[in-house]
Amino acid sequence: MNSLIKNSPEAIDRPPGSHKSPFQSFHKLKPLAPAKDAIFEYTYRTVALAVAGFMAFSEAVS
């Protein structure tokens, strides 16, 4: 677990030994923001593709 903390992106900017606890950065939403944006974009594109596919299918059937 120690090597995971030392190699984390948050640990690069500060000198070694300056972190208070391994769980210090879990309450911050900044590292999770790109992941949330990617999940939202993936979901949006998937729903848009499904709606477009359904519209094309219903147009072809009728």
Q: Could you state, in order of their start, the residue ranges of all structural domains in the chain?
A: 1-26, 32-62
Nearest CA to 25 out of 51, 45, 46, 4 is that of 4
Q: How far apart are CA 52 and CA 1, in angstroms?
A: 46
Longest Cα–Cα distance of the chain, Å, equals: 68
| Structure confidence by residue, pLDDT tens digits, 5-60 | 555 555 555 555 555 555 555 555 555 567 778 888 899 999 999 999 999 999 99
pLDDT score at 40: 87
